[in-house]
Structure 1
C-alpha cells in the first residue's frame, strides 16, 4: 500500500491509499482482434527554452523511448498528431524531424513487420504561415507533407486542416480538395475528423455543423476513393455519431475511434461491427489497452471490460474541457510512470492544468491501475506539491 496526498479545488488535502495489484501481461506476439494506435506526445529537456511561441526543443532519447514503450505493448504509434502538440508548440521543423526519427526507430525497434502498422504520421498544411490561403495552396501544402511522409515509408493520417476549414464554404469544396490529395497517395491512408472540442478552428469541418450532413460528405469522399482509404479516425466525442458512420462504411474501410470518452464499448463493438483505435488516451494507459485487447483476442469479454472500463474515468478527466489541453495530462502521467525526467512540455503547456486537476488524475490513475510503480509515482507527485509550497500529509 502507498499513501498519496490529494488536493481538491479549495486547497484541502486528503490521504488516499493506493492498493497493490499484479502487473499486466505483455503480448507474446501481435495483437490480433483489433488494430490499436496510441497517439504519442513529445518530451522536451526540462532546461530548454520551450516557452510559448519558441521553436520546440526535443529530448529525442526520452521521446523515442516512449515510443519503444508503446511498441513493447503491441501498440502502433500515431506520430506527429495533435497529441504531439501540432499547432500547440510543435513547429514544422520539429514535426519533420520527429517523423523522420520515429520512422527510422520503427524499422529496427518496433517489432512490427510492416512499417505502416508500426507508425502512422499526421499530414497537414500547418507548415504554411499565412492563415488564409487558396484551395490550390491547401492541396500543395497537403502534398508537400504527404510526399515527405511517404518517403519515410510510414503510414499516413490525412489530418483535418485549419486552412481548409477557413477556405471551404460547402461540402463540394472538401470533395474537390480531398479528390486531388487522395489521387497522390501511394497506399491507403487514414482520414481524420477532429471535432471542435479538440480544435475550435475546425468547427463545421466537412462542410456542415450538422453531423449527419458532414457524415454524408465523408462517406462520399470514402466511396469515391475506397481503394485509397484505410479508414477514418473519428474524434467527435459522440459515440452515437461514430456508430452511425461506422455502419455505413464500405467493406474493408475501418473506423478508428478517437473518442477518448467512450472507447471501451466502441472498440468491443456490437457483434457485427467494431471500431479499431487511434487514441491519445492509449498513450496514457498503454499496458491496460494492450492487456484488454489481448483479452479480446482470447474471446474473454469480461476480462476486457474489467481491464479497460476503469480507464475511461481517467481518460475523461485527462480530456475534460477545455479538451485541447489534454496533452498536459498525457505528459503528466508519462512523468509519473518514469518515462520522462520532468513533466515539462514544449510551448510551456505543462502549466495548462491546475494542481487539483492533476491530483484527480493521480487518484483515477491509481483506481484504474495505470501507475506502473506507485511508490515512485507518489514520490514524484509529492515532490511537485512541495515545489508549490504544499506539504504532503504524513
Structure 2
C-alpha cells in the first residue's frame, strides 16, 4: 500500500495509507435521470490568468465527457462546474457546447443539456437570454435557463422575473430546465425570483412553472436545503422533474420517499461518477441499503469539497480529476487552482480514497507529493 503525508492547519503532518483501487461497474441505470455538471480542463500553456479569455485542453475536456457518458450520466454542459461566470467566457462556453453536442450525437443514449445565461456583452437580460438560447438550441442541446446576475441586478420585483422567463418559455420550441442557484454558490443572486424570503420566492417560482408546465422538463434546485427541496418537488405539476442540485443531501433526495424522489443535476457527480453510477444501479435493483452504503462515503467527500465558501468547490473537483489521472496538470481557467489551500486539498485526497475513488493510488500519491513540495 502507498502512504501519503497530509498537512494539518497547525503545520504538522500525518500519514495516511491509501487503499487498494476499487473496481466499479460501468453502464447505464434506469430508475433515475442524472446529469453530471462537467468541469473543463484548462490548457496549462494557454495563459488562463484571472480576467483572460479561457484556453482549454479540448482533448482532455471532451474525453472527460466520454467518461461521464460511459458511466450512464448525462452531461450538463457549460454550467457553474465548468466555471461559468468565474473564468469561462461565453465565446469559449459556446464552443464547448457545440463540441459536446457533436460528440453526443456520435453515440447512443448520450443525454446533453447546456447552460443558457446572460454572461456576454448585451445589456438587456431578455435579449441576452434569447441570443444564448438560440445558440444552444441550434447546437442541439436541451437548454438550461440559468439564473442571471444581470436580471438579479435589474429586477425590482417578482413581476420582472416572470416577464423575462415567461417570454422565453412562450418562445422556446422545446421543454427546458429551469435553474435556481442559491447564494451559497453565487452571492450576486440574492433575492432571486423577487424576494430574499425563500418561501415567498418559491411561490413566485411555482407560479411560473405552473403557468408554463408544458415547456418545463424540470427544475434544478441548488439551495442546499433538503427540506425545502422535498416541499418544492411535491408542489410541482405532474410531469415536471425536480433535479436536485443539493451536493450535501443528494443520497436521500435521490432515494426519495413514499411520495416521490428527486432526479439529479449535480456538480459532485463529475467527481464521483463511478461510485454514483454503481449506487444508482443498486437503486434500480431495489437494494436501498447498499445504495446508501456506496454513496455515504461520497457524501462525506462532497460536503468537504462544497464547504464554505461553496463557490470554490470547482477547485476540489479539478484537483480530483488531476490526481485520478484524467488530466495532466492541476490548472484552471482564471487561475482558480489557487482558491483552496493545501490543507483542504489534502482532506479531499483522503476522503476520495475512503470513498474508493482513486483508480491509481500510486499516481495519486506521486502527484500529491509534487504539489505538497511546491505548496509547503
- 1: CA distance between counterparts of 2:357 and 2:174? 36
Q: Which residue is 1:120 aligned to?
A: 113
- 2: CA distance between counterparts of 1:128 and 1:277? 31
Cα drift, residue 272 of structure 1: 2.0
- 1: CA distance between counterparts of 2:141 and 2:95? 14
Q: Which residue is 2:323 aligned to?
A: 336
Do structure 1's residue 357 and structure 2's residue 344 form an aligned pair?
A: yes
Q: Which residue is 1:58 aligned to?
A: 56
Q: Which residue is 2:204 aligned to?
A: 217
Cα drift, residue 70 of structure 1: 0.4
State TM-score, norm by structure 2. Answer: 0.98
Cα drift, residue 128 of structure 1: 2.5
Q: Which residue is 2:23 aligned to?
A: 23
Q: Which residue is 2:195 aligned to?
A: 208
1:285 to 249, 272, 292: 272
Q: Which residue is 2:296 aligned to?
A: 309
Do structure 1's residue 7 and structure 2's residue 7 form an aligned pair?
A: yes
- 2: CA distance between counterparts of 1:272 and 1:289? 23
Per-residue CA deviations over 1:104-142 (Å, capped at 9, x if unaligned) read 111114x31xx6xx110000011126xxx4xxx211110
Cα drift, residue 271 of structure 1: 2.5
Per-residue CA deviations over 1:190-211 (Å, capped at 9, x if unaligned) read 0000000100000110111111
Q: Which residue is 2:232 aligned to?
A: 245
Q: Which residue is 2:174 aligned to?
A: 187
Q: SS state of the match for residue 310, structure 1?
A: helix
- 1: CA distance between counterparts of 2:223 and 2:317? 19
- Residues 21, 358 of structure 2: 8 Å contact kept: no
- Residues 22, 357 of structure 2: 8 Å contact kept: no
- 2: CA distance between counterparts of 1:85 and 1:367? 27
Distance 1:384 1:100, change over 3 A: same
Structure 1 alignment gaps of length 5 or more: none
The within-5 A match list for 1:1-394 is 1-20=1-20, 22-27=22-27, 30-109=28-107, 111-112=108-109, 118-128=111-121, 133=123, 137-388=124-375, 390=376
Moved over 6 A (4+): none
- 1: CA distance between counterparts of 2:311 and 2:137? 28
Q: SS state of the match for residue 285, structure 1?
A: helix
- Residues 219, 249 of structure 1: 8 Å contact kept: yes
State TM-score, norm by structure 1. Answer: 0.94
- 1: CA distance between counterparts of 2:22 and 2:348? 21
Count of aligned pairs: 376
- 2: CA distance between counterparts of 1:213 and 1:365? 38
Cα drift, residue 382 of structure 1: 0.9
- Residues 70, 283 of structure 1: 8 Å contact kept: yes
Q: SS state of the match for residue 17, structure 2?
A: strand
Per-residue CA deviations over 1:308-362 (Å, capped at 9, x if unaligned) read 1111111111111111111100100000111100110000000110000000101
- 1: CA distance between counterparts of 2:237 and 2:103? 34
- Residues 143, 184 of structure 1: 8 Å contact kept: no
- Residues 2, 18 of structure 1: 8 Å contact kept: yes
- 1: CA distance between counterparts of 2:65 and 2:220? 20
- Residues 292, 308 of structure 1: 8 Å contact kept: yes
Cα drift, residue 21 of structure 1: 5.1
Q: Once superposed, what is the RMSD of the aligned Cα atoms?
A: 1.1
Distance 1:21 1:49, change over 3 A: closer
Structure 2 alignment gaps of length 5 or more: none
- 2: CA distance between counterparts of 1:374 and 1:150? 41
Q: SS state of the match for residue 106, structure 2?
A: helix
Cα drift, residue 280 of structure 1: 0.4
Q: SS state of the match for residue 190, structure 1?
A: strand
Cα drift, residue 237 of structure 1: 0.6
Cα drift, residue 187 of structure 1: 1.1
- 1: CA distance between counterparts of 2:315 and 2:22? 28
